[in-house]
Amino acid sequence: MNILWDDARHALGMAEMDTTHREFIAQVAALIAADNAAFPPLFQALVNHTAAHFKAEGLLMRESKYRGLPEHESEHHRVLGELQQLNRSLKRGHLPLVRAYVKEGLPEWFDTHLAMMDSALVMHLKKAQQQAASADS
């Protein structure tokens, strides 16, 4: 599966999240195209980026008192755990396994997560911003 940024499919209308998601997609695309020597450090960079991405989203969810936080954060923990386990597998020489996940599993997960969980979070955040703006008026 090839992964490319598509505004119609991926843009959520929140600049910070959209930027982070663009970076994620660019990193996955670079991994798919990477040779065997370049793959491990690029995968480590993806793990680090994803950890920071999930931490930032978690903070947004907490600050805005998002009701979907437990499920959303649980999904983040699950995926980050998978990435960390795959990174350990990669260090043990299981490159084909990790490549398969990056090429097939990760893009599919991302599209579903974005459409279901992140889009719901953005709706919540936009509503909270509107309510805060109305209260300030």
pTM > 0.75: yes or no: yes
Q: What is the pLDDT of residues 33-45, one digit of tens each?
A: 999 999 999 999 9
Question: Which two tokens mark 84?
Answer: 């960390």
In a 3-state reduction of DSSP, which class is residue 11? coil
What pLDDT is attached to residue 3?
83
Q: What are phi and psi of 66, to 5 degrees?
A: -70, 125
Which class is domain 7-136? mainly alpha
Distance CA 33, CA 88 (A): 21
Q: What is the pLDDT of residues 80-103, one digit of tens each?
A: 999 999 999 999 999 999 999 999
What pLDDT is attached to residue 88?
98
**CB-side exposure of 28: number of CA atoms within 13 Å?**
25
| Domain residue limits, the chain | 7-136
Q: Are 111 and 12 in contact (CB under 8 A)?
A: no
Distance CA 72, CA 3 (A): 23
| Number of residues assigned to the chain | 137
Residue 73 has pLDDT above 70, yes or no: yes
